[in-house]
Amino acid sequence: MSDTLLYQYGAFLRRKSRFLWLVAFMILLLALAGLALGPSDMGLQEGIRALLSGEDATHRSIMLQLRLPRVLAAILAGVALSVSGVVMQSVLRNPLGSPFTLGISNAAAFGAAFAVIILGAGNMQSNSSDAVLIANPYLVTLSAFLWSLLACFLILLVARKRGATPENMILTGIIASSLFTALTTGLQYVADDVELAAIVFWTFGDLSKSGWRELLLQTVILVPVMVYFYRNRWNYNALDSGDETARSLGVNSYRLRLTGMVMASLATAAVVSFYGIIAFVGLVIPHMVRRLIGSDERFLLPGAAMTGAAFMTGCDILARTVISPMVLPVGILTSLVGAPLFIFLLVKGIGASQWK
């Protein structure tokens, strides 16, 4: 009996490991494709040669200032949004838990609109490629970041007063989402043409806003958050079994739920405040990975992180190539791909037993 159980457990681990290695290989291929493809006719070999030798300044600049930061931004954004979705669904025990559905993205959009209209960051300018740029992007980013955190703290405030139950937190998130959407609409109504254009431009989930400074700031925020999530993987497994089971195993479900929401909101804010609203990644990817490898957080967290990175990188490649030389905002592609995928998972049954 024990030998059979050991064999089954070994097979279980091998299946999970094969999935993780497969997705890691996909990320590598997609990253190389992202470096090779774009409006410029420069291929991967020319780009790598320019990086190593520095002979062609134009190709080197394209790789260092455009393609490489964009690929890294797609990977970081995919990791942050997907893992945040996993944690939110786990702590709320609800399949609709995600940064987008709980109002954090809507709060960031209001923060951007607030900076553009109230704080005067809405002056517009164009670069040499006729792309619209916001004159004071860091003020917009800071405002979006702070307001998205405020949405999280609003949820936590209600949870502290009424109890950190999944139902209370979900309902508060829905209310916060509606509130910030209404506030954003109100600001758009009183905005002039330039300010309105700035708000709409920011809300596009667009990785072209990425740069080395933005990547550094995101990395500083995301690395400790991801370490925290993975260190608590066993606690999330216990929480998946219910609060009573978690408490019997010595897990403080109240504190774990609140801290998980704060960390997930922080990771989400680090992405949406820089790049705008990128929908469906934090909702679809956790469900897809859960269906493929199960709900064991030891594998679900890294699996969702890697799958989210691959998904975002693939969507960004499509955004840059589908109607080249025009580059679409990646948020359009994530919604166009994510919505049908979520419907498919819904029809097939997205682990319904997990949420009963």
| 196, 268 contact by CB (below 8 A) | no
CA 46 to chain centre: 31
Non-local CB neighbours of 347 within 8 Å, separated by 6+ positions: none
The dihedral built from the CA positions of residue 213, 327, 40 and 77, taken in this order, carries a sign that is positive
| 267, 278 contact by CB (below 8 A) | no
pLDDT at 127: 47
Rounded Cα distance between 65 and 63, Å, is 6
Non-local CB neighbours of 142 within 8 Å, separated by 6+ positions: 115, 273
Domain boundaries, given as residue ranges, for the chain: 2-355
Average pLDDT of adjacent 10-residue blocks, the chain of 356 residues? 67 83 95 82 72 72 84 95 92 79 85 85 51 67 87 81 72 87 91 80 82 89 94 89 82 85 88 87 91 89 95 93 84 89 78 50
Query: What is the biggest distance separating any 2 CA atoms in the chain, rounded to whole angstroms?
Result: 74
* Class of the domain covering 2-355: mainly alpha
Q: What is the pTM of this model?
A: 0.87
| 299, 293 contact by CB (below 8 A) | yes
pLDDT at 134: 63
Select from 189, 210, 194, 200 the least CA-distant residue to 124: 194
Q: Would you call 133 helix, strand, or coil by DSSP?
A: strand
pLDDT at 131: 47
Rounded Cα distance between 213 and 192, Å, is 31
pLDDT at 342: 84
CA 207 to chain centre: 12
* Residue 61, burial from CB neighbour count under 10 angstroms (0-12, 13-18, 19+): exposed
